[in-house]
Structures are given as C-alpha cells and as structure tokens.
Amino acid sequence: MKRINGMLLASIIPFFILIFLFLFVPLFFMIYGSFQTDDGTGFTFKQYLTVFQNTYYHQAFINSILISLISSFIAIMFAVFATYSLTLFSKKIQDRILVFANLTSNFAGIPLAFAFIVLLGNSGLFTIFFRQFGWDTLSSFNLYSWSGLVLIYVYFQLPLAVMLLYPVYQGIQNQWKEAASLLGASSVQFWLRIGFPVILPSIAGTFSILFANAMGAYASAYALTGSTYNLVTIRIGALTSGDIFAKPELGSAVAVILGLTLVAAMLINEWLTRKVRRDLS
C-alpha cells in the first residue's frame, strides 16, 4: 500500500511542478512587476495610478467588457437552442457535430482573423461575389469595425458554449418529460416549468466562462485591427512588446487589474448561480 502511494505521489509531483512553473511563477512576477518603477529599481503605486487616472485605459476596459458581454450573450442565446436541437439527432450524428464544434472552438487567433479577411474583408470572396451581382447585403458591413470584432468573437464562442451545455441537456431525463406529459403538460410548459429552471444555473456558469474567454482574447482582435482598436489585451501586448518603447511594469499593472476583473465577474456569477438555485429549491 505504501509503495502504491509512493508511486502515485511520484507521478503527481511533475504535475505540480509544471503548475508552479507555468502558473504561479509568472503570476508572482507579474504582480511584483506591477509595483515596480519604470526602470524596475523601486517599489511604487505609480503604475496603478496611471491606469486608474488615464481615460485611455478606462476606455480599453469598457470596450473589452462590452464586446465580451455582447458576444457572450449572443453566443449563449444561440447555443441554448442549438444544443437542444443537437440532442434531437441520433447519437452518431451528435458525436460528429461535437467533433466539428471542438475543432471550430479551437480555430481562433490569427488563422481565424485571416479566414474572415479572405471571406468578408474589403476584397474578400463574399464581398466581391455580392458586389458582382449588385447585392448590397455586405455594402454597409465593415469587418474591421466593432461589428466585425463581435462576429469573430461569436464565431469561437458559440461552439464552446455548445460543448459546455451539451452535458447539461443530457442530464434532463426522459422520465421527467413523460411524467409531465402524463400530467397534461405540453412541451413548452415542461421547458418553462422544469427544463429551463434546471439548466439555468449551468447557463449562467457557461456565460461566465464565455465572458472570461472573450476578455482574454488577443490574437484574433490584434490580427484583425492591429493596435487601432482599444482593447485591454491589445494594450497589454503593446506595453509589453512596445510599439515605440516597452513599459512592462505598466503592462503588468493592467494585466493584474484585468485578472481582478475576471475574478470579480466569476464571484458575481457564483453568487447569482447560488441565488437562482436557492430560489428554485
């Protein structure tokens, strides 16, 4: 027994070493760097004061929060109905769609932005195709604007939401539907009175994950708009790499505030989820 416990401990140690090296060590140096002066020689609150007093960074957080909320809301609304529709197919088709959703959710970053530029950019395939036929469907759409960013965010948010909600729908038993039907409830009444209240906490949890995923997105937005659109992740990248000169200490402060924003969003979501469950019970 002791030998087995020793083997288990030895197999777990590398896992904790990796977590320590790739999670806690960067986190420590990020927090430490956020309290350093520009030359990294002393302790100061200057970096945080700069972030809180500069309206440019205020706008970056507002833009990131807005685009994360909007894209997450759109994705979760479509995912609720898409996932339910998915459960109506056979098990074989469900597995194939889930594989496709998994591939789509991981198709992000620079390749995703490039694909959208090829299809919907100013000289994109669909843009030229519609223009040749005199259709004005895409004439007012600008991929390199707010609406283009929302579209790209929804693209990689939607399949992720479907994958997260799929197990939730699997937890709704057919016996519940049969019992509700025997008592005279219609399908709509079942979902309004039983099904939706059951999955509502999971929907809230999924929304929180989507929000955090959107807030941390960087490569797709940067590849599409460069540094022209003011988002938190783009500002962190610009401060770290430096458009003209780097300010990693200020970038660390912005990153810490971004992390605290995500923690606050998760705590609010956890409180709302518990409240919904308590009210339903």
Query: pLDDT digit string (tens) for 206-216?
Result: 898 899 999 98
CATH number assigned to the domain covering 46-280: 1.10.3720.10
Whether 234 has a pLDDT exceeding 70, the answer reads yes
Task: Name the CA radius of gyration of the chain, rounded.
Answer: 23
Cross-strand partners of 43:
36
| pLDDT tens figures, 9-28 | 777 888 888 888 888 898 89
Give the model's pLDDT for residue 19. Answer: 87
- Predicted pLDDT of residue 215: 92
Chain Cα centroid distance, residue 226: 20
Among 209, 197, 259, smallest CA distance to 34 is for 259
Is the pLDDT reported for residue 279 higher than 70?
no
Separation of alpha carbons 152 and 236, rounded Å: 20
The structure tokens 């609406």 sit at: 147
The better pLDDT of the pair 187, 67 is held by: 67
Alpha helix stretches (DSSP H) within 35-173: 46-53, 55-86, 91-106, 110-120, 125-132, 146-170
The predicted model scores a pTM of 0.86
Domains of the chain by residue range: 1-34, 46-280
Q: Which one, of 219, 215, 262, 201, lies nearest residue 69 by Cα?
A: 215
**Which amino acid, residue 145?**
S
47 contacts 253 by C-beta, under 8 angstroms: yes
242 has pLDDT over 70: no
Q: Which two tokens stand for residue 187?
A: 């399908």
pLDDT in tens, 143-198: 888 888 999 999 989 999 999 999 888 878 778 777 888 888 787 888 888 888 88
Name the more confident of 40 and 53. 53
3-state secondary structure of 54: coil
